[in-house]
Amino acid sequence: MKNIVVLISGNGSNLQAIIDACKQKKINGTIRAVFSNKADAFGLERAREANIPAHALEASQFAGREAFDRELVQEIDAYAPDVVVLAGYMRILSPAFVEHYAGRLLNIHPSLLPKYPGLHTHRQVLENGDEEHGTSVHFVTDELDGGPVILQAKVPVFDDDNEDDVTERVQAQEHAIYPLVVSWFVDGRLAMRDGAAWLDGVKLPPQGYAAEE
């Protein structure tokens, strides 16, 4: 069984989807620990409910980002992770952290990358009148939300949508595709090399698996 460590900052709904997928044996791995940079993150409660060690590290305890990330690496590595999964983790990672876990660091971002990296993606979609939105699972590199895309899911955007409508629609897709990608990784089907994502030995296109040409 592969070891999974999950990093969160908030509610942890994607964490819950991965916990459920592990329980249902859809992921051939075990979540060994959950870490948050917010002590009051509800996702830590989800971890405790599932009898998963839950840890909070807050930035105020450290001199800077590098010191924070050094401690985080030490604590994560105590669980010997095969993959580190960012599930709504809202801190920008130091280059040393990203390099340490290169090729085994996954993130989910609520947009169809490369559109709308960073924050407030749903708001931007509505303000720009987009008819399509979605979510992307990608490997993490030094570029913010810029690593190779593995899988995307698209959702429609309707004229009378508000941010809550769009968020709910996108999250439903996130909860489906993130556990799937984690399962690919722990089964040894997914890898990052030469700056690209590879699935079953095939280099994926820029928009990830099953992208429409």
Annotated catalytic residues are 109
206: phi then psi, degrees, rounded to nearest 5? -55, -30
User: CB count, 10 Å around CB of 185?
Assistant: 25
- Matching residue, tokens 């429609």: 156
Q: Distance of alpha carbon 111 from its chain centroid, rounded?
A: 12
Instruction: Kindly state the helix (H) or strand (E) to which residue 5 belongs, with its residue range.
Output: strand 2-8
Beta strand 202-203 pairing with 196-199 = antiparallel
Cα–Cα distance, 43 to 154 (Å, whole number): 25
